[in-house]
Amino acid sequence: MSAPLSDAPLAGKFALVTGASRGIGRECALALAKAGAHVVAVARTQGALEELDDEIRQASGQSATLVPMDIAEGDGLDQLGLAIHQRFGHLDILVHAAAILGPMTPVAHIEPKHWDRVVAVNLTATYRLIRSTEPLLRAAPKGRAIVFSTGRVARPKAFWGPYGATKAGLENLVRTWADELEQTNVRIALVDPGAMRTKMRAEAMPGEDPETLPDPAEIGPMVVELAQADLGLPNVNVLFSEWKSGTLVSA
């Protein structure tokens, strides 16, 4: 069994990670656990969450709290917030990585049911998550929220309509939220991970060689650093491609 990081910078912290069963969310959960945080892992698939828990135990010597749920179910997010309050009293770190790509098709060809699903997961769930976790983050000594977005917001591209539009809405919502919390102890970062070796990327770009892309595990140290950073308002996104270790702590 591997031991936690020697200095365990996040020891005693509680972290909620959405989309924790695979890709970027999974690697964020692992990195936070290795840094000492107790992770509340949210994803739809029970089996994948159990595999994550096994890996967290092996890597850090501690278990995770597993929450199998669809984040599009707003009532479930409300119940999750209440459960965290009752068990932990506060939330130190929120990492919102859950998202779906949606159909890669011209805007005029999008089926309403597919549009509604992407909006529910990528945008409405973000609002419900903010609503549920803000009191918990405020109750922490230094609450930190890390929300993943995409370069498609600034650079729209054919066939990416539902994904890009909902992520644009997410960015506006999160920046508004951060502005509202400027006088509190909560700080928020919007992160653009760029192209990574994930299932979503493979779905969007099936002809691309995944070996040319960074592994999602490479973003873990940046997320651990953001969880401790003295952040300002997220007027620009934190770009993984420009991140260097140690550049965020006193940002």
Q: Residue 245 — pLDDT band, cuts 50, 70, 90?
A: low
**Contact (Cβ atoms closer than 8 angstroms) between residue 45 and residue 67:** no
- Positions marked catalytic: 163
Domain positions in the chain are: 14-242
- Dig out the tokens for 15 from the structure: 């972290």
Could you say which DSSP state residue 200 is in?
H
Say which residues have a Cβ less than 8 Å from residue 61's Cβ, sequence separation at least 6: 1, 2, 3, 4
CA 34 to centroid of chain Cα atoms:
17
**Contact (Cβ atoms closer than 8 angstroms) between residue 82 and residue 75:** no
CATH, range 14-242: 3.40.50.720
pLDDT at 210: 85
Residue of 115 and 8 predicted with greater confidence: 115
Q: How far apart are CA 62 and CA 64, in angstroms?
A: 7
Q: Is 240 helix (H, G, I), strand (E, B) or coil?
A: helix
The 10 Å CB-count burial string (b at 16+, else e) for 210-236 is eeebeebebbbebbbbbbbbebeebee
- Dig out the tokens for 207 from the structure: 């002809």
> Does pLDDT of 3 surpass 60?
no
Least confident span in 4-13, 204-213, 217-226: 4-13
The 10 Å CB-count burial string (b at 16+, else e) for 46-68 is eebbeebbeebeebbebebbbbb
Instruction: Say what the pTM is.
Output: 0.92
- Dig out the tokens for 96 from the structure: 């919102």
Q: Residue 246 — pLDDT band, cuts 50, 70, 90?
A: low
192: left (phi over 0), alpha (psi -120 to 50) or beta: beta
